[in-house]
A and B are shown apart, each in its own frame.
Chain A
Amino acid sequence: MNDQRPLTIIVVVVLVGLVLLTKLFLIQVADDSFLKRAERNAIQRVVDHPYRGLVYDRTGKIMVYNNPIFDLMIIPKEFQVRDTARFCEIFRVSKEHLIETYTAARKYSSVKPSTLIKQISTTDFARIQDYLIDYPGLFVMSRSVRSYPQASSANTLGYIGEISGNQLGRDTVKYYRQGDYVGLSGMEGFYEKELRGVKGVKYKMVNVRGVDKGPFKNGEYDTASVAGKNVTSSIDLLLQQYGEMLMAGKRGSVVAIEPKTGEILSMISAPSYDPNVLTGAQFSTNYMLLNKDDTRPLFNRPIMAMYPPGSIFKIVQSLVGLQSGILNVNTTFACNRSLVACHNHPSPVDLFGAIRNSCNPYYHQAFRAIINREVSSNTFKDTEIGLNEWRESVMKFGLGSPLGLDMFNEKGGSIPSSKLYDRVYGAGRWKYSTIYSLSIGQGEMLVTPLQMANLAAVFANKGYYYTPHLIKAIDGNTDNIPEEFRTKHEVGVDAHHFDMVQDAMAQAIYGTAARAVIKDIEIAGKTGTAQNPQGEDHSVFIAFAPKSDPKIAIAVYVENAGWGGRAAASIASLMIEKYLRGEVTRLELEEYVRVGKFM
């Protein structure tokens, strides 16, 4: 017999062992991809979504809360029903719906839950709760949708929605996942980080059919979610709702600010919408409808609409002139209507009279004095230097760039510089006669209603402002609000120059805005008319009150309502009365505004 052969067989056995162990080494030790695939197989990461923070108004009234809604879930394999008719009666579904959804659920998976009835209300839930025990395979899953009990302040509060691909891309810390809800606009958007809380994570094991097999490693790696912080808005809900009522059926903006703090008391964009339509399952449908609406309810006018400031800008011109020493209270100019049109009033006028009468020729001449100071013998050069210095002073009033309130997409308006005119006319080819319309707030100049309200606050404060903001407290603590909202901005005009301006504004309303007068409350205000090349001019009014100790500064824009003395002044006046007194006595004026026939 061949003695080599047993040895050969032993070698074969050893080789077999080595081959198997080598391959096992390759997949078990050398390659860790199998471990990851195993985890993907059997370990499911379930996110525990935190409770989103609530939003209150400045008086503690709730503006946004989380409304629990209930979905009735079904596990087809466990589901049993003896009396279908009775089941349909209890759960208020049609037999067809039951059969249809059951079949669909069964088709999806017989062991994984599917939704049988969507969005059951709290009251319906209370009713069916006791019956659930009779039906195995049914259970209720609760989730919450944002709810706005007053249906007010839609554009201010904003909305939440599913995160977009872009936002996911920007989320470098990878907090969000596809399908997460985030604040997309308004306060919901700006205070997303505060409101959202911190997600928790649970790891659970599932078998090959997706059936839950309990927590992974007894929950060793699980983390609990942390509820979002509650946010107190500076909005005065009653004032806001009153303003919304007044602005119903009109287009425009109302912005009211507490001058001493920069807190926004009211921010109204009209027309608006019921914020509740942008919640829950109907979000996309309703969003499309709102987006297509000609009246543009999603357009947040107070911070996004830009208009020429019109006559109101004359006050800024006066203050810039006074501070630079080019004007003083006694500077007089004739109301020379060959320069620019004006209306009937005594002539010549001093600065006080010019503000009170809103005299156009006065500012045409005053602005020329501010711009052309003969620092250069070249009149083109001289105008350029003058304009740029003037622009610097004007921008200190919070004009020409975004104020930086706590909302996204704020527009900055524009205060033109020499560069703009160089671009349009060519360098050295424009002078004062090219730009004179800036003198009366027309021409290449744009402001937002928010900037105008802030201007009113500057006048009220005699030379400073706090960046307007919607936040009053986070988690009940006013110290938590961002630092920039607690920083005072000086506009670079000495306080004493404002005395005369305030007096003139107080006088002015008796002339141009008699409807704004309130008995026993001294209002300082200024009308304006924003020219509108597309149609009827926009009615503008800014004011603050009481003059001696201003509590509210306000700007009102009513589009296509003509001269500012009528619509805008009336609304501003009613808002001031409502805020300062808590109620409005002038019901006929209220009625006049509500009917809204200003033409």
Chain B
Amino acid sequence: MRQDDLYINKIDWITIGIYASLVIIGWFNIYAAVYDEQAAKSIFDFSINSGKQLVWIGTALLLITVIMVADYRLFENLSIILYGVFVIFLLITPFFGKEINGQRAWFEIGAFRLQPAEFAKFATALALAKFMERPSFDLSQVKYQLQALAIIMIPVSLIMLQPDTGTAMVYSAFFVMLYREGMPQRYYVLGLTFITISLLALGIENNLYLVIGVAVVLGVLNFMGKKSLRRSLSLLAIGAVVIGYSYSLDFVVSKLPTHQQNRIMVLFNPDLDPLGVGWNVTQSKIAIGSGGFWGKGYLEGTQTKFDFVPEQHTDFIFCTLGEEFGWVGSIVVVFLFCSLLIRLIILAERQKNRFSRVYGYCVISLLLFHFLINIAMTIGLFPVVGIPLPFFSYGGSSLWSFTILLFIFIKLDSHRIQFLGRMN
């Protein structure tokens, strides 16, 4: 009994408060997205998505209860088993899954549909935490780097088979956690350079300008540093690689599936084809942009509920918020997400054992990635990727998986003193 008192008091109610706010705001927005004045159904009506979401929220509360009353050691002990189970799930999904929109990403059990890829996230997070907990694990060594990468790449490659590029991309978020855990900085510098060059190569119509730009930058570098033939030659080699890469990128893009090519093209040229491939982004921006400073008022939006924005209750849920609550509403939600993330960083840093901290950073990584990419795509800063806004978007798999992900960490955090005791 003393133990229980101890951990109830250690639960981080700030995080739970932000979580509850996001879920409730999300629920109201789901109602607004499907609201039809002529039908005038209640928010609790189970025939519409807001009613269904209420069921998901209710069951999420059950999940929270289960997580909170379970033994905190359970998650660490089960981590490898859970990881194995979900890898198997992912393995069989392409064969037994239900095909929706050309993807086999869903399992159908009676009336419920579950997306194993969503749940594989927390299993992967647990597995990473478990592996990295070993005292010998050192990310500055290539051997351990490859181990971590392997744990991530197994589910990624299986998800690519479904194929669900969006969800697979989410796993790249773990690099944020790896950064915290000591992955050498040069990889990130290299990665960011790579991304910048890719964006420039895709964004600049004429590659000739890129060539001139690279030549100028490298030329300046050559004359600034100490003069040596070796240095000049390596700069020349870098230039050749960059230019070669730029030219080959166009070729790589041309080999992508057409819908992905289109999404990339629309990002750089939003008005390319507003009624065709640019429809989603154009309509999404119209909906959010028409909200103005204060928004049109709750249930007064026209763009989302009249179906101008596709997927307005799932991946494009942010449109409803932007339209009806304007920039003020956007500030509130962005602020809530940023606060949640910063709070979680503070919690992660106060963990006394590596398992909890690694897991905490996994949660931070995934939430940051979803938050950034989802909102960025609705306002045309990122290509359209089918990933939900955590706690906000309609859907059981999404809400459950993020709830489990977050509450395992809250549970671990509340036992941080005991971890300390155990280690001693």
Contacts and interface: CB of A to CB of B under 8 A. Distances in A.
On chain B, which size bracket covers the interface? 35 or more
A24 B308 contact: no
B338 A17 contact: yes
A10 interface: yes
A214 interface: yes
Interface string A208-223: 1100011000000000
Interface string A28-42: 110111110111011
Given A28-B288, A209-B307, A17 B180 contact: no
Interface in B306-359: 306-308, 322-323, 326-327, 330-331, 334-335, 337-338, 341-342, 345, 348-349
Contacts of A8: 179
Interface residues of A, number: 39
A205 interface: yes
A519 interface: no
B interface secondary structure, majority: helix
A29 B327 contact: yes
Given A13-B345, A34-B286, 16 more contacts: A6-B345, A10-B342, A16-B338, A17-B337, A20-B330, A20-B375, A24-B327, A27-B285, A33-B289, A38-B302, A41-B286, A43-B302, A207-B306, A209-B307, A213-B36, A213-B38
Contact of B368 (A6, A16, A27, A31): A16
A166 interface: no
A14 interface: yes
B326 A28 contact: yes
Nearest to A209: B307
A2 interface: yes
15 contacts: A2-B182, A5-B180, A8-B179, A12-B176, A13-B368, A16-B371, A20-B330, A21-B331, A28-B330, A29-B292, A35-B289, A38-B302, A38-B303, A206-B306, A208-B306
Contacts, number: 121
A29 B293 contact: yes
Contacts of A214: 37-38
Contacts of A31: 289
A213 B303 CA distance: 12
B381 interface: yes
B66 interface: no
Contacts of A23: 376, 379, 381
A39 to B, nearest CB: 8
Contacts of A213: 36-38, 306
B172 interface: no
Interface in A210-268: 213-214
A37 B290 contact: yes
A39 B283 CA distance: 12
Interface of B: 36-38, 176, 179-180, 182, 283, 285-293, 302-303, 306-308, 322-323, 326-327, 330-331, 334-335, 337-338, 341-342, 345, 348-349, 364, 368, 371-372, 375-376, 379, 381
A218 to B, nearest CB: 10
Contacts of A205: 302, 306
A29 B331 CA distance: 12
Contacts of A19: 381
A306 to B, nearest CB: 57
Interface of A: 1-2, 5-6, 8-10, 12-14, 16-17, 19-21, 23-25, 27-29, 31-35, 37-39, 41-43, 205-209, 213-214
Contact of A17 (B285, B290, B335, B348): B335
A24 B292 contact: no
A42 B303 contact: yes
A interface secondary structure, majority: helix
A112 to B, nearest CB: 15
Query: Looking at B283, B290, B368, B371, which has the most chain A CB atoms within 10 Å of its CB?
Result: B290
Contacts of A16: 338, 368, 371-372
Contacts of A42: 302-303, 306, 308
Query: Looking at A9, A28, A41, A205, which has the most chain B CB atoms within 10 Å of its CB?
Result: A28
A513 B85 CA distance: 119
The 9 A-B residue pairs with the shortest CB-CB distance, nearest first, are A34-B289, A38-B290, A207-B306, A42-B302, A27-B289, A17-B338, A208-B307, A28-B327, A35-B290
Contacts of B37: 213-214
B278 to A, nearest CB: 13
Contacts of A206: 306
A1 B182 CA distance: 7
Contacts of B337: 17
B345 A9 contact: yes
A37 B182 contact: no
B364 A14 contact: no
B288 A27 contact: yes
B378 to A, nearest CB: 10
B327 A13 contact: no
Contacts of B342: 10, 13-14
A34 B327 contact: no
A34 B371 contact: no
A5 B330 CA distance: 28
A35 B294 CA distance: 13
